[in-house]
Amino acid sequence: MALLPQVGRRTVEALLDRHAKKLAEHSLMLVHGQYAAGSATTFTAEVGEQTRRVTVRDESSVLGILAAWHSHREDAAPGDLLVVTTGVDDDQLGWDLRGHAVHRRTLTVEKAEIVTQRFGATGLDVRMYREDWLLQALVDAEPAGRGWPRTAGVLTRDAALRALVVERLGLDHPDISPHATAEAAVDADVLLAWSRTPAGPRRFAALGDTERAELKKWLGEVAGPAAPVLLTLAEIGRGNDAMALGLLGAALRDPAADPDVALAVGGLFGKAGPRRGEIGAFTDAVEGTLLRWIGEAAGSVDSRHKVFAVLQRADDLARDAGLTAGLNGSRFLLSSFAAQLAAVVEGAHTSPAQGESALAELTGHALAGLFPDRVRVAEMAVRLARWLRQGPPAVTSVAAGVRDHVAEWGWADRALSVLWAGDPGGDPAVARGLRDLYEDGRAQRERLDEQFARHLAGWAPNATAQQPGGCLVVENVLDTVVRPLTTGGPPLVIVLDGMSSAVAAQLGEEAEREGWQEIVPRSGEGARRTRLAAVSMLPSITRTSRASLLCGTAIQGGQSTEASGFAAFWKKRRKDAVLFHKASIGGDAGHFLAQELTSALASDAVVGVVLNTIDDALDSGQQGQRTVWSLGDITYLRELLAAARSYARPVVLVADHGHVIDRGRGRVTPAADAGGSARWRPDTDAGDGEVVLSGPRVLEGGGTITVPWHEDLRYAARRAGYHGGASLAEITVPVLVLLPSKELAPREWEPLPREQAAPSWWKAATATPLEVREPQPESATQPVRRPAKPALRQNEELFDADDVVMPEAAPEASSVPATLGGRVVASEVYEAQKEYVRKAPEGKVVAAVIDALAAAGGTMSPAALAAAISATGRVRRNIEGFVATVQRLLNVEGYPVLGFVDAGHAVKLDVALLRDQFLAGEARGGSPRKETS
């Protein structure tokens, strides 16, 4: 007897729906086949527009069929249906029984017809008729309730397989994609996400052998070679580990991998046994998917959980196999990230070049974006190592000390704070390296503080506002810095009580990123541009320094003294002025700022605001990130800056004094009960780490005080930080002059871009513009793109070369130095590009722009680029327009060699593309070759 076709519940439901009209008058359906074991024998089904109760019986004899039918007629409720699957031929059944059945005969299951009907198609792809497994699977797998997606026209094999895969594997699970449908693309990314679902891989493993093999084959065709490897892992119960194994499989892709490591990694794949090339494709797919998840992790808790689940499992597998050390070069393991971080710190302390190389490896690690705080620790370690490598600096005067502190040593303090706080990951090896590096840096800073204190003691007896000894003193800031700004509009003076140079460095960087331009008085020829800094009043406490700053004269006092003194200072200069302290800044319900403050900002008055967030943090400690100060961390600061921008006000961010942080090693001196405060006392005997200061700017202790220059000394109970002493961090008063628009700058002031505000060692070592020497290309196989001669156009220039003002005529250099920029402007391609620009800038100016950008790693702020242009003797008037002109010269055929990035806050040069476009012909030893027609 021939085997009967298997009939499952889905087949029965499809037959019922197909013959719904006949079932309105019949309650018996005979089906040729055998009902699948384990399938439900009683269920409800949609038949036409009705829901009816269905009973299925499998009978192999006429008597069995008759008994089932009689039982149904006696016991069934009206509308109930009986389906009998059987192998009995119609001619063995009497007409009495067949007369009650649909169509009066046994129905044959035509799977192709059922599939066509269930998809609403007009026909099937001819290939499907030869694939009984596919037709059966489509009948069995039809989604309950919603059914298969409706198809207009012929149902193609790919559409059918896609729908089957989505249903069989559960690819519409919300953990995979909230918008997945049967029509959605099925790719490696989707399958890898599916592998991380709780039951997904088990669903595939539960399918029959033929269906698994065919689905694996099809998915390999449409989703790539990674799919068969993944599905094989799912078959052997390793589906949930697939992504973790893929990360470890990267070792097999590396030709230089240790053979023992490669063998052990291959063993982890077990019975899956993929070939090395297949593992490579699988690893590529896994890494690509994980990179996407990492990119989403910053804004999605779910994505972050998914990423760390994979990473942790990969590390667990590596550890269990003894592979952790052998995979330290991986870009995707938590353990390799930790190892590379430790290598940076160790290298920074013992071998600076090794530290630089290790930092490049770390920043290129795929997980660097997940741990920005830990990468920042590594960067600070390398930066501090660069500073220490320069050799011990020296303080030559109070003026030089304050200037160098805001320009150099305050940045070292910034790095030291990060190293002292340590690795957020808590790695013991990293902690030891950071401690050693911190101690080296702290020792050098202490030497500078001691030198500065000696100079301060010699300077103080004769220093006054009128004779400051080359210094900008805090009581002169209003007159020297703020008053010149009134030519551009009424300024907003924001006093950030306790802001140190390290904090100012962070705020200045963020302000420029948000569109503010810092300016400073024009420096002398050859002098370095640096941020402004003043010397605090003595001692460096709020009662003396802030009052003197706001009153414009040496004075002590509280808020009332400051408010009246501020108004009086500006009244003498025929300006209205108003000062707001903490209690008068916040607004009523619904208003962030007080109405009085908002009205003052909208007026022509000079406005002052005192913000105490930094100074308040010295009492109980900074909340949140202990080593980072941002504009948003200081209450009201960002809102005040926004208001100043809207009213076109210049802004001055100024401290009254700085501060030192308690590092847990402080000690109270025996003289702590002698009066004074945490960092000064009225005595005249100085001990270790102290200095005696006296003079007209010493406003406490009758003009003579003893203050510590060592940051570990204090005269009061322990707090989070202190001020009042003679250290550089306390005495230096950073002054940041910020403009919302460069047009507000007074004459003889110039921009201070962040590239120049930061010390050279803060950035990775780069060549100076004239040292940028590009290596000759190894071959000249790449064609040089030369533009066709353009037709003349009207109004084609966004920027005229006249916008680069030439103070005096200068002859063109007879020979251009062999820099990258010089070779570009000497090339034939560049000469051809000049035909697109009506009045092109001088070649040496364009060369300077190219060299400056190349030396800076390809990216500079517009202000820094303007400074590079100024160095050629040409003064820029419209840097944005100038860049637009240079774009027309360098962006051959529209290729993005030069352009703005970061919302217009930076200019980027693609050096590799520049070389490809202009210098590809240098391999033959001459100028770029010509194209032949």
Confidence of residue 36 (pLDDT cuts 50, 70, 90): confident
pLDDT digits (tens, 9 = 90+) for 841-853: 888 889 989 988 8
Among 151-155, 266-270, 757-761, 900-904, the least confident range: 900-904
- What does the domain layout of the chain look like in residue ranges? 6-109, 128-137+145-327, 460-759, 766-924
Mean pLDDT of 45-70: 92
Which of 387, 452, 445 lies closest to 691 in space, CA to CA?
A: 452
Confidence of residue 498 (pLDDT cuts 50, 70, 90): very high
What is the dihedral angle through the alpha carbons of 291, 294, 296, 297, rounded to the nearest 10 degrees? 170
- Enclosing H/E stretch for 468: none
Cβ-Cβ contacts under 8 Å for 370 (sequence gap 6 or more): 294, 297, 304, 307
Residue 801 carries which DSSP code? G
777 burial level (CB within 10 Å; 0-12, 13-18, 19+): middle
Residue 503 has pLDDT above 90, yes or no: yes
107 burial level (CB within 10 Å; 0-12, 13-18, 19+): middle
Classify residue 103 as left (phi > 0), alpha (psi -120 to 50) or beta.
Answer: left
pLDDT at residue 809, as a whole number: 41
pLDDT digits (tens, 9 = 90+) for 527-560: 889 999 999 999 999 999 999 999 999 999 999 9
Among 171-185, 254-268, 612-626, the least confident range: 171-185
pLDDT at residue 764, as a whole number: 77
Cβ-Cβ contacts under 8 Å for 347 (sequence gap 6 or more): 353, 354, 355, 356, 357, 358, 359
Dist. CA 928–CA 828, nearest whole Å: 6
Residue 814 has pLDDT above 50, yes or no: no
Among 361-375, 550-564, 569-583, 889-903, the least confident range: 889-903
pLDDT at residue 801, as a whole number: 39
Mean pLDDT of 894-903: 82
pLDDT at residue 621, as a whole number: 62
Pairing of strands 651-654, 532-535: unpaired
Dist. CA 590–CA 255, nearest whole Å: 65
Look at residue 778 and give its three-state secondary structure: coil
Q: List, in sequence order, every beta strand (DSSP E) within 526-605.
A: 532-535, 577-580
pLDDT digits (tens, 9 = 90+) for 400-436: 999 999 999 999 999 999 999 999 999 999 999 999 9
**Share above pLDDT 70 across residues of the chain, in percent, rounded to a whole number:** 89
Pairing of strands 28-32, 101-108: parallel
Tell how far CA 865 is from the center of its chain.
25
Residue 898 has pLDDT above 50, yes or no: yes
Tokens standing for residue 152: 């207009």
Residue 799 has pLDDT above 50, yes or no: no
Dist. CA 700–CA 694, nearest whole Å: 10
Mean pLDDT of 894-911: 83
Which of 518, 403, 482 lies closest to 751 in space, CA to CA?
A: 518
Mean pLDDT of 162-189: 78
Confidence of residue 454 (pLDDT cuts 50, 70, 90): very high
Confidence of residue 673 (pLDDT cuts 50, 70, 90): low
Which of 628, 486, 640 lies closest to 569 in space, CA to CA?
A: 486
Look at residue 920 and give its three-state secondary structure: helix
Confidence of residue 671 (pLDDT cuts 50, 70, 90): low
Residue 810 has pLDDT above 50, yes or no: no
Confidence of residue 912 (pLDDT cuts 50, 70, 90): confident
Q: List, in sequence order, every beta strand (DSSP E) within 1-91.
A: 6-7, 28-32, 34-35, 42-47, 50-58, 81-86
pLDDT at residue 795, as a whole number: 34
Q: List, in sequence order, every beta strand (DSSP E) within 658-762.
A: 660-661, 667-668, 690-694, 704-708, 713-714, 721-722, 732-739, 749-751
Residue 797 has pLDDT above 70, yes or no: no
Mean pLDDT over the full length of the chain = 87
Residue 514 carries which DSSP code? T
pLDDT at residue 2, as a whole number: 56
Q: Please answer whether residues 570 and 606 qualify as being in contact, where contact means their C-beta atoms are separated by less than 8 angstroms.
A: yes
Residue 521 has pLDDT above 70, yes or no: yes
Contacts 24+ apart (CB under 8 A), 877-881: 877/803, 877/804, 877/805, 878/799, 878/803, 880/799, 880/904, 881/798, 881/799, 881/800, 881/803
Q: Please answer whether residues 376 and 418 qualify as being in contact, where contact means their C-beta atoms are separated by less than 8 angstroms.
A: yes
Residue 659 has pLDDT above 90, yes or no: yes
pLDDT at residue 177, as a whole number: 64
Tokens standing for residue 861: 């702020």
pLDDT digits (tens, 9 = 90+) for 465-497: 999 999 999 999 999 999 999 999 999 999 999
Confidence of residue 624 (pLDDT cuts 50, 70, 90): low
pLDDT at residue 95, as a whole number: 87
Q: Please answer whether residues 494 and 640 qualify as being in contact, where contact means their C-beta atoms are separated by less than 8 angstroms.
A: yes
What does residue 578 show for φ and ψ, rounded to 5 degrees? -145, 140
